Amino acid sequence: MAVSAPSLTQQIANEIGSAIVRSEYDETNPFPIEADLCQQFGVSRSILREAVKMLTSKGLLKARPRQGTWVQPEENWNLLDPDVLRWLLERKFSINLLAEFTEIRMAMEPQAAAFAARRATDDQKQYIANALERMRAAEMGHDDALAADIAFHVAVLEASGNRFFMQLKDMVETALTISIRVTNKTAGVETGSIANHRAIYDAICDGDAVGARTTSMSLIQEAYDLILEAGETAE
């Protein structure tokens, strides 16, 4: 299935959202009025308003009739939103942000793997197996290593049978795009450890919830240690 290009509204929301996260608007440079933004992007008021609504739903903006639109403080931003997380990661590379994200993974993914060991369907187990095959292919240069690694973790979340975990898969995919590059570079490898990922898969297929949780935690702990090591190297 072909991936559709971002709509004009999405493009504008992306540009404005990225500018907000980069702190381009402040007391000396307040958020522009609607007319100025329409002129800046060459769009109608209806398109601009849709973009503002998107950013308002992400917690970046707040708008009130006759009071205008203003930037919300960072503590109001929806950090679980994939776009907000991506803008934050693109704003300025932050080991601390990656470390915090990995701490969320520690709290979530091992339990998701344990649930998958109890609940995964045959089709869901096959999706995890397919991701492993992609990782093997990537080692031989026949697939994208980053995409294959991410596909594995997303497949485990989906196999958990927990709708809330599955809702977080876009956030996980977004942050892992940066995180895996950092950990692989720090470890001096181009692809993730297939053996470690295979251990999670085997535990899930065996219905071993404890083993799935333990092996998943071990894998994420290793990534966490590599991220902290990358931070120390960068200092």
pLDDT at 233: 64
Beta bridge partners of 63: 69
Residues of the chain with pLDDT under 50: 1-4
Number of domains in the chain: 2
Q: Which domain does 24 fall in, by range?
A: 8-76
pLDDT at 89: 82
pTM here is 0.80
pLDDT at 234: 56
- Kindly state whether residue 3 falls inside one of the protein's structural domains: no
pLDDT at 1: 36
CATH of the domain at 58: 1.10.10.10
Listed residues 76, 101, 119: the one ending a domain: 76
Listed residues 49, 76, 103: the one ending a domain: 76
pLDDT at 2: 40
Judgement on whether residues 144 and 213 belong to the same structural domain of the protein: yes
